[in-house]
Amino acid sequence: MSDLHHISVLLHPDGGSSPVLLLLAPKPGEIVLDVTLGLAGHAMAFSKAIAPTGHLYGLDADEENLVEARRRLLPWEKNVTLHHANFGSIASLGLPAADIIFADLGLSSPHVDNASRGFTFRENGPLDLRFDRSKGATAADLLLVTTEEGIANVLYRYGEIHESRRIARVLFQLIHSSGITTTHELRDGVTKAMTYRAKQFLPQVFQAIRIWINDEMGVLETLLSLAPAMLRPGGRFGVISFHSLEDRLVKQTFRSLCEPEKNPQTGAISKEAPFELLTKKAVMPDPEEIARNPRSRSAKFRVIRRRV
């Protein structure tokens, strides 16, 4: 896998001016928990910043990513611990309190570029879409046992597709006649349903099915509920999201954590919030980064810091 190439979002080539490093501010000796290790782009920057005495803990649901990440992190191997795990299971891994917890919720480039993973409609391959191919059902398997109404609900909830019932009706018919087991068969089903408008719906359809089979919103809720309590005093928690469902959940959770308690009669602050918001508005890639890495264009980065 050493030929894989992935450009980490909000991490500039010069390093120092990167929004991720500026806002999370890793320092020598700190403990970093990177819960979306991917190909270790951010993890390498963190490891360099916290050397020589800091420690990085990395998680990834994709075993293939872990192999490459381990290779790239060899210069810091004595200060790195990696886990093959989804971040929804952080409570069971025995992880220490951290100075930085970081999540980049975007797809790794190998997921999109490798047709055998089934994440893209541009190349034909098996309709898989699992991050962790060692367990669970593929997208094709789950669609086969899902009702027409269930498919419509998935498309509406996770793809925010208002014409979800129209698409679901056609997909359900095809699944139980000719079958839908490849990415192009799914693409053709959406095209049959939406004709000339299919191109605008295909990304949403693939996104919705991917979020559904990987329970992405469920594990994000788990991360947002557990991670803040795992921070040391002064610790920072940063999340990069790529679609409105994720960003809305992160935004609402962070605002709630940063809201002080107020006297119901006077409205005066009776207790300071345990966290402070370091990003009043989401930080987004600048035009230069988008030109360099078009896949970064929808990224939004939000950060909170623990006060005590």
Q: What share of the chain is helix, strand, coil (3-state, %, to 5)?
A: 45, 15, 35
DSSP letter at 283 equals: B
E strands, 7-111, are 31-34, 55-60, 80-84, 98-104
| pTM of the predicted structure, to 2 decimals | 0.93
Q: What is the CATH number of the domain that holds 164?
A: 1.10.150.170
pLDDT of 130 over the 60 cut: yes
What's the domain count of the chain?
2
Residue 13 lies in a domain: no
Q: Let me know whether 226 and 285 are in one domain.
A: yes
pLDDT of 3 over the 50 cut: no
pLDDT of 112 over the 80 cut: no
The whole-number pLDDT of residue 92 equals 95
The residue among 225 and 292 whose pLDDT is bigger is: 225
Q: Let me know whether 241 and 299 are in one domain.
A: yes
- Which of 213, 230, 255 is where one domain is finished? 213
pLDDT of 283 over the 60 cut: yes
Q: What is the CATH number of the domain that holds 37?
A: 3.40.50.150
The residue with tokens 């025995």 is 94
Q: Which of 176-190, 202-216, 285-299 has the lowest mean pLDDT?
A: 285-299
Quote the CA–CA distance of 300 and 242 in Å, as a whole number: 6
Q: What is the pLDDT of residues 231-276, one digit of tens each?
A: 999 999 999 999 999 999 999 999 999 999 888 888 888 889 999 9
Are the C-beta atoms of 235 and 99 separated by less than 8 Å?
yes
What domain range is 170 assigned to? Answer: 132-213
Section 63-71 average pLDDT: 94
- The pLDDT > 90 percentage for the chain reads 85
Q: Let me know whether 92 and 231 are in one domain.
A: yes
Quote the CA–CA distance of 17 and 283 in Å, as a whole number: 13
Q: Let me know whether 202 and 222 are in one domain.
A: no
